[in-house]
Chain A
Amino acid sequence: MKASYIARSSAVASRILDGEMVIMSAVDSTLFSLNEVATVIWQAADGCTPLSEIVSLRICAEFDASPNEARADAEAFVEELARHGILLVSDCPIVGVSANASENA
């Protein structure tokens, strides 16, 4: 996995509802609901922690997933949310974006 950093966009609102993370894009009002694994990635997307570290320390450890499978799933999830503009992806740390989003999380 190449080094990549992910951060929640500030143009979203998110809440835990009935045990699931629900996210709404403030840009196009699209609504997403995340499963348990995706929720962990979303909550860990602070712009400073590499995705590889999130996968190894959080996903593999907490969900007993194989590294290859977890990495593939995480990359697909990140790619999809990035396509909708609600996750930001960069090859260097992302500063000053997720503070607003985290208060909603």
Chain B
Amino acid sequence: MGTTVAPAVSVSTPIGASRCGSVNVEIGGISVRLVTKDPGFCDMMEQRYTGFLNPLAQPDYEFAVHIAPPPAEAPEEDARVFRKGRVWHFERGDFRAQWDARTRQGWVRQSANPYSVDTVLRIAHSLVLADEGGFLVHAASAVRNERAFLFAGISGAGKTTMSRLAPPDATVLTDEISYVRRSGPHYRAYGTPFAGELARVGANISAPLDTLFFLVQGVVNRIEPISQIAAARELLRHTLFFAHDPELVKQVFHSAIEFVSRVNVARLIFTPDVRAWELVR
């Protein structure tokens, strides 16, 4: 433990990083090592990311996590993500982080809670995926017959419902945040530990992506076609991108266009019972 992926940490750290504890969290085949000198926080991370730990993996990225007292009052706010030079800055009331994508190293300053670093991981993964044409998207996903299906929608659209109703031969990858990677003309969906209302981490498996469904609750179960432009518009609405960085916006736009040009996309109008899954095969 304690091996770094790059020899130099070019991002200045607010306090010295100790190497007495680390956790390798591997999501989508990308390993992020969280290094902390707080054993209690290490234990917390190991519990939080059970099923997504790979202590033997050579980490792709590394964050030193510095535990600080909790803020007196952490305001409810969205994370601010911006770039200064080559260093990304992530900030919210409950944490501050910096990350240099080139050296693959960064730091997080937060209190001993699992939520701050979870957001940092989501942001970091969204930036990594943007570079390769993939993305994180507000969608449940599941594997059935060795193919992955995504169910995207706003809160209340039915992501948790579809996950809860998944038949025995379907494996839920996530009920909240789906992880999509691109490899040439093909896309693959991966399980994530980013849980929603089910409060259950997904299965750490992956499968080729078959169809992206946009969820609409209705009276009769049916699949409706959707134009590519409408699909791109919907997909962009549900894609997680935290930074209002012009270059990143362009990347995400092109990724969405590529995706809807290559993958089946449709609307799934469904009633909240198991019969909806009869259409997902």
Contacts and interface: CB of A to CB of B under 8 A. Distances in A.
- The answer to whether A and B interact is yes
Interface of A: 11, 13, 15, 17-18, 20, 22, 24-27, 29, 31, 33, 104
23 contacts: A13-B249, A13-B250, A13-B253, A13-B254, A15-B254, A15-B257, A17-B228, A17-B232, A17-B257, A18-B227, A18-B228, A22-B257, A24-B249, A24-B250, A24-B253, A25-B249, A26-B250, A26-B253, A29-B249, A31-B232, A31-B233, A104-B250, A104-B254
A13 to B, nearest CB: 4
Contacts of A22: 229, 232, 257
Chain A binding surface, main DSSP class: strand
A90 B113 CA distance: 54
Contact of B246 (A15, A20, A26): A26
A13 B260 CA distance: 16
A33 B244 CA distance: 21
Nearest to B257: A15
A60 to B, nearest CB: 27
B236 interface: yes
* 6 nearest CB pairs, A to B: A26-B246, A13-B250, A18-B228, A26-B249, A24-B253, A13-B253
Interface in B230-269: 232-233, 236, 244, 246-247, 249-250, 253-254, 257, 260-261
Contacts of B247: 26
Contacts of A13: 249-250, 253-254
Determine the main DSSP class of B at the interface with A: helix
Contacts of B253: 13, 15, 24, 26
Interface of B: 227-229, 232-233, 236, 244, 246-247, 249-250, 253-254, 257, 260-261
Nearest to B245: A26
B236 A29 contact: yes
Contacts of B249: 13, 24-26, 29
The listed residue with most A CB atoms (<10 A of its CB), out of B236, B254, B257, is B257
Nearest to A12: B250
Contacts of B233: 31
Contacts of A15: 253-254, 257
Nearest to A33: B229
Contact of B229 (A11, A18, A26, A104): A18
